[in-house]
Amino acid sequence: MIAYLKGQLIEIATDHVIVDVNGVGYEAAASLPTIDQLRSFQGQTVALRIYTHVREDQLQLFAFLHPEEKSLFLSFLKVNGIGPKVALTILSGATWSQIYDLIERGDAKGLSSLPKVGKKTAEQIILTLQGKLVRADDQTKSGGSSQWQQISFALVNLGFKSSTVDNFVSGLPKDINIEEGVRQGLLALSKN
């Protein structure tokens, strides 16, 4: 699974971006706030967090600039009736922090104003996610570094169990670089 891409941003469309990584162009769907933030980086090197969605007839990438947005996207996938495309559409309706606050306040009316979210879906989101969301900055304050979070995202996207990954990552130095952490994780977790 692809969890991270770093390369030249060669195209920005209304619903996706294309990143050239060593001569290979990766198309990844992105939310409107992410696309708006990326517009000023056209032609430059960007680093994107990626969610890889695989179905029998399709492989699709979803791109995120911030770990918080990706985390919220993954949380939406736990809600009954919300798939990756709907989750991305919801994230296009407001910033990730605004959506997070709506969920934590239990504001069904505010959530139902987002695209693809009706009253029942808003209530289902609140029921499933309220009190269970953790902001990445909260994790950093409680001892996890930004690198740890990115290493965890990568290893979980590669198919390792979240609990096993958390145990492994908590033993890494806080200043480890992402590539080295993922490499060590692959070596250690593949043995189990």
* pLDDT tens per residue, range 92-112: 998 888 898 899 999 999 999
pLDDT > 70 fraction of the chain, expressed in percent and rounded: 92
The pLDDT of residue 192 is: 64
Q: What whole-number distance in Å separates Cα of residue 76 and Cα of residue 68?
A: 12
Mean pLDDT of the chain: 86
At the second CATH level, the architecture of 67-129 is Orthogonal Bundle (1.10)
Q: Quick: pLDDT tens for 2-52.
A: 899 999 999 999 999 999 999 999 999 999 999 999 998 999 999 999 999
Q: Quick: pLDDT tens for 110-148.
A: 999 999 899 999 999 999 998 887 654 444 444 455 677
The pLDDT of residue 145 is: 55
Give the 3-state secondary structure of residue 12. Answer: strand
**Phi/psi of residue 64, each to 5°?**
-140, 140
Pick the CATH number of 4-64 from 2.10.69.10, 2.40.50.140, 3.40.50.720, 2.70.50.60: 2.40.50.140
> What's the whole-model pTM score?
0.69
List Cβ neighbours of 88 (8 Å cut-off, separation of 6 or more): 29, 30, 31, 62, 73
